[in-house]
Amino acid sequence: MQTKKSDTPENTLDENPLFELFHDELKDIYWAEKHLTKALPKMIKKACAEELVGALENHLEETRHQVERLDKVFSMIGKKALAKKCDAMEGITKEGEELMEDFKDSPALDAAIIAAGQKVEHYEIASYGTLVAYANRLGLEDASQLLKETLEEEGAADKKLTEIAESVANEDAETVSN
């Protein structure tokens, strides 16, 4: 018969499989965020619309803070800040680089950068959404608060990219050059 972990008061977090999963996913997003501090500058360099450059620069700065927030979360749970390679984020950014290469001389380049960026943000939104839910479930309120701050930044970054796409980038992408 399966006993529920909450039925045993002596049960520590380290014995809780959900905590193990939380810790694992934390290492995954830690790798992903650090990777993004290197991937975002490449996107910034290639972006053309001033608004897009500004939004990406702003999010690069936020991303550096997000890494620091994760450092704090690791210390809150008494763990060393360790990164575990996120194959998904490596793939999303690699695909983005290929897309930027394919469209490097096209008026659709900004739209392509936005497409790549929004895929990144959506992966992050999924990751932080689950991390917040796990932290809440595990009673890690301070960690949940920090992770929620990042979740909100990822959501805002995604929204901003949609705005830029709809206000300028998608229209620019239709420019036919000869």
User: Can you tell me the distance from the alpha carbon of 3 to that of 99, in angstroms, rounded to the nearest whole number?
Assistant: 50
User: Can you tell me the distance from the alpha carbon of 88 to that of 122, in angstroms, rounded to the nearest whole number?
Assistant: 12
Q: For residues 110 and 124, which CB has a smaller minimum distance to Fe ion in the complex?
A: 124
Q: Is 158 in the site for Fe ion (CB under 5 A)?
A: no
Q: Which residue is nearest to Zn ion (CB)?
A: 124
Which class for 27: exposed (0-12), middle (13-18), buried (19 or more C-beta within 10 A)? buried
The total of other beta-carbon atoms located within 10 Å of residue 122's CB is 14
User: Can you tell me the distance from the alpha carbon of 23 to that of 74, in angstroms, rounded to the nearest whole number?
Assistant: 8
Question: Cα–Cα–Cα angle for 26, 32, 38, nearest 5°?
Answer: 145
Of the candidates 98, 97, 114, the one whose C-alpha atom is nearest the C-alpha of residue 47 is: 114
Number of amino acids touching Fe ion (CB under 5 A): 8
Q: For residues 94 and 104, which CB has a smaller minimum distance to Fe ion in the complex?
A: 94
Contact string 117-156 vs Fe ion (x = CB under 5 A): -------x-----------------------------x--
Q: Minimum distance from CB of 166 to Fe ion (Å)? A: 19
Q: Is 86 in the site for Fe ion (CB under 5 A)?
A: yes
Q: Is 114 in the site for Fe ion (CB under 5 A)?
A: no
Q: For residues 85 and 104, which CB has a smaller minimum distance to Fe ion in the complex?
A: 85
Q: For residues 19 and 30, which CB has a smaller minimum distance to Zn ion in the complex?
A: 30
Residues that bind Fe ion (CB under 5 A): 28, 63, 66, 86, 88, 124, 154, 157
